[in-house]
Amino acid sequence: MRAGRRDRPVQFLRAARIDDGLQSRPGPFLPFGGVVMAGKTPVRDRERYDADTVMRDVTDRFIVEWSELTARLTGADRLDCEGTLYAILGIKEIGRREGFEITAGWITP
Residue 70: φ, ψ to 5°: -70, -25
Q: What is the DSSP letter of 34?
A: S
Q: What is the mean pLDDT of residues 1-19?
A: 82
Give the Å distances, CA to CA, from 25 to 28, 29, 68. Answer: 10, 12, 25
Percent of the chain with pLDDT over 70: 82
How buried is residue 103: exposed, middle or buried, by Cβ count under 10 Å (0-12/13-18/19+)?
A: buried
Express each pLDDT in 66-79 by its tens digit: 999 999 999 999 99
**For residues 48 and 73, which has the higher predicted lDDT (pLDDT)?**
73
